[in-house]
Amino acid sequence: MDLSARRAEALAALALYAIASIVIFGLPLFPDFRHLRLGFGPAGDPQIPIWGLAWYPWAIAHHLNPLRTDFAWAPSGCMLAWATTIPGAALIMWPVTSAFGPIVSYNVLCLMTPALSAFTAFLLCRGITGDFRAALAGGFVFGFSTYVSGELLDHLSLAMGFLVPLFPYLGVTCFNGKIRSSKFVAAAVALIVGQFLLSPEILATTTLFCGAAILAARWIYGETVRDRLKNLARLSAVSYAIAAVVLAPALASFFPSPFGLTPIYNPAHCSTDLLNFVLPLEPNIFTRISAVRKFAENLTWGCEASAFLGLLPLIAIFFAIGGSKSSGDRLLVAMLLIVATATLGPVLHFNGKAILPLPWLLAMPVPLLNNAIPARFTVYLFLIFAAMTSLWLARGGFRIWRWVMAISAVFSIFPVMPMTPYAARDSLPPFFARHLYKAHLSNGEIALILPFAESGYSLWWQAEANFYFRMPQGRLIANLIPPAFARWPIIPALADDNPDIPGASEQFAAFLSHYSIRTVLIDPVEEKKFAGLFAGLRWRRSEIGGVAVYRIDPAELAGFGASTGDGMEARYNRVRFALLLHAAHQALHAGLNPELLGAGELRDRGLLDSAAAGDESPRQLSDYSIFSKPFGARMTIAILDRLAGISHIDYRLMAELGPAQQPELTTSGLWVGPWSGGGVAIGLVGDRDGVAALLRKYSPSATRIFYPYPLDYNTKRRFPDGQNLLLMVFPRAALGALEAGEGANAASAPPPGACAPEPKIVRP
């Protein structure tokens, strides 16, 4: 086929994919393209790329370093290297953003992503099959997969994997000797740089699995292709070296990692549950079936469950048993098994329950690789299925049963059509839409916005205000709170959407005073939740353009001028520990069965309020229960203990396989419960400096101390940065004496359920 015919086929495929993307994803948005967007709700993670679409053009236009901002987490600011702010897409969409705003740019990208992903997969499949129709089907498998449609609702940067198929396409072209070395290097550098500017995480994992494919090919093909694979590896290394030079300024900002040695998320918690391969979750089309939806509601899975494969495994089986048994076929099967195993993560889960370790555990000590979330590896799984589907169709000719099965398999992974239930409305308050903020805020002023957490609109409001003001917040990098801010107890509390902590109003006022914040903007719908923060001080409140504006005179905060984050955290920890000692002792003294001791029970007895108790947490265990019963192997336990001492793995693995429940499951930052041998365990989450005073005071009375839990406290150990769980085990008989020693602290804490003083609000 001549070049013009191939181009015509490519354009026809792109047009079909674009139409499908508009029908499935676009129709729900067209009634109001400037205010509707895809997502599970109007807030959440989509605000991050929306903010990035506005930030990069604005920063460049104002001659600022676009890779760093002090408009979020002001005044200290933060680096954006680890943020999912899609700088490459922001630069491309600059004209659209300038003319119509970041929401329109975001919507355009959402419609382009499935179509472009399908198209690049089509190019790969067309190159390996030579069959237009078969390649067209392969494109649909990848571009409209469970992965793409799922990530499109939450993480646009991860959905934008349309460059991924071009990496193996370029590799296959080089392997077959159909491209000159210079052109390969130029194209590879462009791909590497482009993918980095969309998602460094996708680039890292693409590199990993392409490298695995080269190693697998060397094993499967044998000596016959050794020279060609060596040449491919050499040219790839050269390409990455050149790309590293081009990206040097951005790469430099990656180090040191703001997360220290600990992964952003626990890879074991963000891996694919085995059940997800066969059970669909939203937004898959089968979730419209009532029985499927009801069954899925009872599941306890981790994050980003996007691995539902529909009928694709049937095609893979037919491909494997009825294929040509060529080296290429065996390579595809091998990569399918490798990727499927990797996406299960370091620990195998079935319906949320950890079962046993898996090979990805070996990646945990690797500093950058351990930040890759295994659940997201399904993007490569669907690419392999796309190649298998197109090869299977191309080799069978036009047999109707094959096409019926292929079309059914494609349809089985489609999302709801159209995606009207996932069209969220971003209704901008008039305070920002009509630029009323300019009359109430100074240019460059630091203003706090509530809600603070994922449910808030701070990033979107700031982007729409064209960065007129700065914020002491900014959910730009996962749930990371910079250390300087995390030391203030009120900030993690606000980030957890739990402002009613002990001493909340004092903690809040001290933070505002330290950072010279005089204005707080609140979504009126959520305002009641934050009433306790304004207690005891004279605030001026007005409601302007759909936003509650709180202003305070600096003189009102004068009494908090010397407050520091470390001092407020130490005070907060003393009060919390006193509350737990008091509550545990009182409950046990009243006859509570020690085995029933827990935060929920103390809450029900009126000894802890709901904010302090948090969500119900599973009991902490004092042995490796998962292994001790089915295996009873001392060697296994010894290996786990050894792994727990490796700083990159530390308590993350043990949260799954050992006696731990990770601090994230202690939703209030407090934990209390029974311990083996009749002991009582009391714990709280704090950084290493914030718990130092507690360790000094209570160590002599404790029979066992864990920090970070489940590791035994050891002053010679290098503690991980950030907030970790301190757990101290005391004999039951010692609680009375300990509580007596904490009388002053316990007395200074507000009684459970007590109402805070009314705010002194001055209304204009």
pLDDT band at 748 (very low <50, low <70, confident <90, very high): very low
In this structure, the answer to whether residues 289 and 384 fall within a common structural domain is yes
Same domain, 726 and 686: yes
Determine contact, residues 436/545, Cβ cutoff 8 Å. Answer: yes
Is the sign of the CA dihedral 351, 356, 359, 364 positive or negative? positive
Pairing of strands 519-522, 670-675: unpaired
In a domain, residue 90? The reply is: no
How far apart, in whole angstroms, are the C-alpha atoms of residue 422 and residue 37?
8
> Does any domain span residue 642?
no
User: Which residues are within 8 A (CB) of 193 and not within 5 positions of it... i.e. 6 or more apart?
Assistant: 243, 246, 247
Count of domains in the chain? 3
Choosing from 361, 394, 421, the residue where a domain stops is 421
Place of tokens 């494609």: 410
675-686 pLDDT per residue, tens:
878 889 998 888
Average pLDDT across the chain, whole number? 85
Lowest mean pLDDT among 58-62, 94-98, 499-503, 602-606: 499-503
Query: What does the angle CA 681 – CA 506 – CA 473 come to, to the nearest 5 degrees?
Result: 90
Q: What band does 749 get if pLDDT is binned at 50, 70 and 90?
A: very low
Lowest-confidence segment of 98-112, 576-590, 653-667 by average pLDDT: 653-667
DSSP per position, 508-565? HHHHHHHTT--EEEE-GGGGGGGGGGGBTSEEEEEEETTEEEEEE-GGGGGGGTT--H
Residue 272 lies in a domain: yes
Is 37 a member of any domain? no
Average pLDDT over residues 105-115: 96
Query: What is the three-class DSSP state of 290?
Result: helix
Burial bucket for residue 448 (CB in 10 Å: 0-12, 13-18, 19+): buried
- Contact present, 624 and 640 (Cβ < 8 Å): yes
Is residue 168 assigned to a domain?
yes
What is the rounded CA–CA span in Å between residue 471 and residue 699?
40
Do 687 and 675 form a contact (C-beta atoms < 8 A)? no
Residue 417 lies in a domain: yes
Residues 546 and 409 in one domain: no
Task: Report the pLDDT value the prediction gives residue 743, as an integer from 0 to 100.
Answer: 47
Supply angle C-alpha 611, 550, 530, rounded to 5: 10
Assess contact for 573 and 745: CB atoms under 8 A. Answer: no
> Peptide bond before 421: cis, by omega within 30 degrees of 0?
no
Alpha-carbon gap, residue 339 to 378, rounded angstroms: 8
Give the 3-state secondary structure of residue 602.
helix
Nearest Cα to Cα of residue 615 among 631, 603, 630, 627 = 603
Q: Is the pLDDT of residue 262 over 60?
A: no
* Backbone angles phi and psi of 406, in degrees to 5: -65, -45
Query: 3-class DSSP state for residue 686?
Result: strand
Both 301 and 412 in a single domain? yes
119 pLDDT band, cuts 50/70/90, is: very high
Q: Which conformational region is residue 258 in: left (phi greater than 0), alpha (psi within -120 to 50 degrees), or beta?
A: alpha
Lowest mean pLDDT among 381-390, 549-558, 629-638, 710-719: 629-638
Residue 365 forms part of a structural domain:
yes
Q: Does one domain contain both 506 and 590?
A: no
Looking at 390, 421, 452, the residue that finishes a domain is 421
Q: Let me know whether 503 and 413 are in one domain.
A: no
434 and 416 part of one domain: no
pLDDT at 620 exceeding the cut of 50: no
Burial zone of 391 (CB within 10 Å; 0-12 exposed, 13-18 middle, 19+ buried): buried
The average pLDDT across 192-213 equals: 94
pLDDT in tens, 440-477: 999 999 999 999 877 789 999 999 999 999 999 988 88
Q: What pLDDT, on the 0 to 100 scale, is given for residue 661?
A: 39
Say what the pTM is: 0.86
Residue 656 has pLDDT above 90, yes or no: no
Comparing CA positions, the residue from 547, 506, 510, 540 lying closest to residue 525 is 547
Instruction: State mean pLDDT over 409-418.
Output: 91
Backbone angles phi, psi at 154, to 5 degrees: -130, -45
Residue 140: pLDDT above 80?
A: yes
Residue 132 has pLDDT above 90, yes or no: yes
Per-residue pLDDT tens digits for 579-601: 899 999 999 999 999 888 888 88
**Per-residue pLDDT at 225:** 83
Alpha helices (H) along 263-323: 290-297, 312-322
Contact 449, 43 (CB under 8 A): no
Q: What DSSP string runs through 190-248?
A: HHHHHHHHH-HHHHHHHHHHHHHHHHHHHHHHGGGGHHHHHHHHHHHHHHHHHHHHHTH
Residues 276 and 153 occupy one common structural domain = yes
Rg over alpha carbons for the chain, rounded to the nearest Å, is 28
Question: Any long-range contacts for 585-589 (C-beta under 8 Å, 24+ apart)?
Answer: 585/735, 585/736, 585/738, 585/739, 588/680, 588/732, 588/735, 589/736
- As a 3-state breakdown, the chain gives helix, strand, coil percent values, each rounded to 5, of 55, 10, 35
Assess contact for 349 and 274: CB atoms under 8 A: yes
* Number of helical (H) and strand (E) elements in the chain, helices listed first: 32, 15
The least confident of 213-222, 358-367, 636-645 is 636-645
For residue 731, give the nearest of 579, 574, 577, 584 by alpha carbon: 584
Retrieve residue 664's tokens: 């994230």
> Do residues 136 and 257 both lie within one domain?
yes
Q: Which two tokens stand for residue 415?
A: 């999302």
* Residue after which a domain boundary falls, among 386, 421, 456: 421
Q: Is 301 helix (H, G, I), strand (E, B) or coil?
A: coil
153 token code pair: 């609702």
Cα angle value 616/620/626 (rounded, 5°): 115
Residues 275 and 349 in one domain: yes
Q: How far apart are CA 174 and CA 183, in angstroms?
A: 10
Best CA proximity match to 363, nearest among 349, 379, 344: 344
Residue 335: strand, helix, or coil: helix
Block residue for tokens 């044998």: 222
Within a domain: residue 173? yes
**What local confidence, expressed as pLDDT, does residue 642 receive?**
59
Whether residue 347 is predicted with pLDDT greater than 70 in this model: the reply is yes
Shared domain for 158 and 221, answered yes or no, is yes
pLDDT confidence of 144, banded at 50, 70, 90? very high
Same domain, 141 and 195: yes
- Tell me: pLDDT of 660 over 90: no
**Residues spanned by the domain of 539:** 430-565
What pLDDT is stored for residue 640 in this prediction? 54
Report the SS3 class of residue 362: helix
The number of beta carbons lying within 10 Å of the beta carbon of residue 380 is 30
